[in-house]
Amino acid sequence: MASHKQLPRTAQIRLVSSHQEVYEPCDDSFALVDALLADRNNLQEHHPSLCMEIGCGSGYVITSLALILGQEASGVNYIATDINPHAVEVTRETMEAHGVGAELIVTDIAAGLEQRLAGLVDVMVVNPPYVPTPEDEVGVEGITSSWAGGENGRSVIDKILPVADRLLSEKGWLYLVTLTANNPSEICQQMRKKGYASKIVVQRSTEEESLHIIKFWRDVDTVGDEPDQSVSGFIGSLLTQIRLLSYWRGTNSDKC
Ligand SMILES: C[S@@+](CC[C@H](N)C(=O)[O-])C[C@H]1O[C@@H](n2cnc3c(N)ncnc32)[C@H](O)[C@@H]1O
């Protein structure tokens, strides 16, 4: 697990509009953007072709990601979804105000997009509804769907993870916001069974909650392994990074 150094937030993001039923950027949004900032160099060297946010809300996170990747990363495409149509509208205005083009879709997670996007998403960011609530509050219309996460706050998260697995490319990275109540280590173990390594990029406690921003990436060596924070785990992930780099330089060189 990496320790988190405090980094400046992307204060330059201007929200040009708001809506009473759209989630305003909050501590969890800031922690996710701080995780992207902490991983800025890796993200820039990753050369993503397609970045996606599920549950874009105001557009603060995906717009920050676009600014972090920089204007020079001209070949990057952005897609964002939200179940709330007002959120998609506010995101559209936020992104336009910052000169970032994106495809914005009102849908449940990525319904209707999976066939087209399977195996293509290089960076996915998700700040899901993670607050433990009664199950019948999940997915209801309006602002409640921003936080209502059902039992252990896992209802929406557990639907997103298999979708992420199908949409992420071979070199795909997922940045996911979780709460301690969501049992993040169990999420990491679930993803490990699917072949993903993980690390906590940012860990932050506020008065109300303890947040973990977890990064996942495919690692053939991790299938079925126990969580491994040891030197051999570090070397394993280093080898994976080298393999990914060779993959990118070799088979994907025509993309850049
Ligand atoms: C905690 S808010 C995060 C908003 C924004 N990404 C941020 O970090 O400020 C969660 C967002 O997920 C959206 N959402 C909830 N359930 C969803 C679903 N099933 N599919 C897509 N979006 C969903 C909500 O409408 C809300 O905008």
Residue 173 β-bridge partners: 123, 217
Distance CA 19, CA 24 (A): 9
> Distances from the Cα of 92 to the Cαs of 16, 202, 232, in angstroms?
10, 28, 44
Compute, in angstroms, the gap from residue 228 CA to the centroid of ligand 1.
31
Q: Which atom of ligand 1 approaches the CA of 84 most closely?
A: 25
13 falls in which pLDDT band (50, 70, 90)? Answer: confident
43 falls in which pLDDT band (50, 70, 90)? Answer: very high
pLDDT at 6 over 80: no
Cβ of 109 closer than 6 Å to ligand 1, yes or no, is yes
Cβ of 59 closer than 6 Å to ligand 1, yes or no, is no
Distance CA 123, CA 46 (A): 9
Asked whether the CA dihedral 111, 114, 120, 122 is positive or negative, the reply is: positive
Q: Where are the domains of the chain?
A: 2-249
| pLDDT single digits (tens) 142-162 | 899 999 999 999 999 999 999
Nearest CA to ligand 1 atom 5: 57
Q: 91: which residues sit within 8 A by CB, 6+ positions away?
A: 56, 57, 58, 59, 62, 63, 80, 82, 102, 104
CATH fold label, 2-249: Rossmann fold (3.40.50)
Cβ of 10 closer than 6 Å to ligand 1, yes or no, is no
Q: Which atom of ligand 1 approaches the CA of 159 most closely?
A: 19
Distance CA 175, CA 184 (A): 13
